[in-house]
Amino acid sequence: MASLDWKNIFLNDLDFTIAVEIGMRTIIMFALVLIFLRSTGKKGVRQLSIFEVAIIIALGSAAGDPMLSGESAIIPSVLVFFVILLVYRIITFFAAKYQKIENILEGVPMYIVEDGKFTMNEEGDANFAQDEFFAEMRVKGIEHVGQVRAALLETNGQVSFLFFDDEEVKPGLPIYPKIYNKKSKVIANAGLYACTHCAEVLHLRSQQACSRCNREEWVAAMDDKRIK
Ligand SMILES: [Zn+2]
């Protein structure tokens, strides 16, 4: 078995001249990437849509080669930049004109909570990864889903919340781990229980499946007002 060539892994044919060349190439490519990103007309980056992530990946791979490889020249990469910029401009032009194209590129906002309950797809599954969304809710100071009139997953990955006024808050599914993790099939005392899967709230006396999603794990519903 051939032994590993550590020198080749870490240095290959690196010497001082090549190191200086890599430095120069990196500075030039970095400057070009900055100029390119400015010329897309975007003001800054908070959250990227999938379309923009695709652009960044294409850009990054075109910029990376001439930084590292002595065999890649800079002008072909600049050509790639221009083509990406052109495609970006054409697509954003049509996306601004036609809603359908924008929906395909950026996706559409998706309801996660409606009227204090999770929305579901046809198979009766909640529309999202619960853990992640619970964390988003806790960051917003939400204690249970009954405080939320609507929550939407926006196309940039952020979640927007609309809240019930205090007098409209309904009993809902608690989302804090210590309470949520007490979920059980056993109904010890009659009362209001929230389905841990879809957040439906029912008055239960004994063990039963959720009338909305058919699962059967419950936790006592909470009806606290929102802490502001
Ligand atoms: Zn349910």
The DSSP secondary-structure symbol of 145 reads G
Gap from CA of 91 to ligand 1 centroid (Å): 42
Question: How does pLDDT run along the chain (228 residues), one tens digit per residue?
Answer: 668 888 888 888 888 999 999 999 999 999 999 988 888 777 776 667 778 888 889 989 999 999 888 888 999 999 999 999 899 889 989 999 999 998 888 888 999 999 999 998 777 677 677 888 899 999 999 999 999 999 998 887 789 999 999 999 999 999 988 988 899 999 989 999 999 999 999 999 999 999 999 999 999 999 999 887
Gap from CA of 112 to ligand 1 centroid (Å): 14
CB-based neighbours (< 5 A) of ligand 1, an ion: 195, 197-198, 200, 210, 212-213
Q: Please report the pLDDT score of residue 31 as a whole number.
A: 94
Gap from CA of 117 to ligand 1 centroid (Å): 9
Domain that holds residue 119: 110-220
Gap from CA of 99 to ligand 1 centroid (Å): 34
Gap from CA of 204 to ligand 1 centroid (Å): 13
Gap from CA of 215 to ligand 1 centroid (Å): 6
Provide the CB-side half-sphere exposure for 41 (13 A, CA): 6
Which of 88, 105, 122 is the endpoint of a domain? 105
3 assigned to some structural domain: no
| β-bridge mates for residue 202, sequence order | 193
CATH of the domain at 132: 3.30.240.20
State whether 216 and 123 are in the same domain. Answer: yes
Which pair of tokens denotes residue 193? 């229980």
| β-bridge mates for residue 144, sequence order | 174
Q: Which residues contact 113 (CB under 8 A, 6 or more apart)?
A: 119, 145, 148, 149, 150, 151, 199
Largest CA distance in the chain: 80
Residues 224/143, Cβ–Cβ less than 8 Å? yes
Q: Please report the pLDDT score of residue 161 as a whole number.
A: 96
Which of 105, 139, 170 is the endpoint of a domain? 105
Report which of 180, 49, 144 is spatially closest to residue 104, judged by C-alpha positions.
49
CA angle 200, 203, 205 (to 5 degrees): 130
Gap from CA of 109 to ligand 1 centroid (Å): 23
Q: Please report the pLDDT score of residue 1 as a whole number.
A: 60
Gap from CA of 118 to ligand 1 centroid (Å): 9
Q: Please report the pLDDT score of residue 98 as a whole number.
A: 94
Q: Which residues contact 107 (CB under 8 A, 6 or more apart)?
A: 49, 50, 155
d(CA 222, CA 171) in angstroms, rounded, equals 5
Which of 73, 105, 137 is the endpoint of a domain? 105
Gap from CA of 108 to ligand 1 centroid (Å): 25
State whether 144 and 175 are in the same domain. Answer: yes
State whether 119 and 205 are in the same domain. Answer: yes
Gap from CA of 142 to ligand 1 centroid (Å): 20
- 178-221 tens-digit pLDDT: 988 899 999 989 999 999 999 999 999 999 999 999 999 999 99
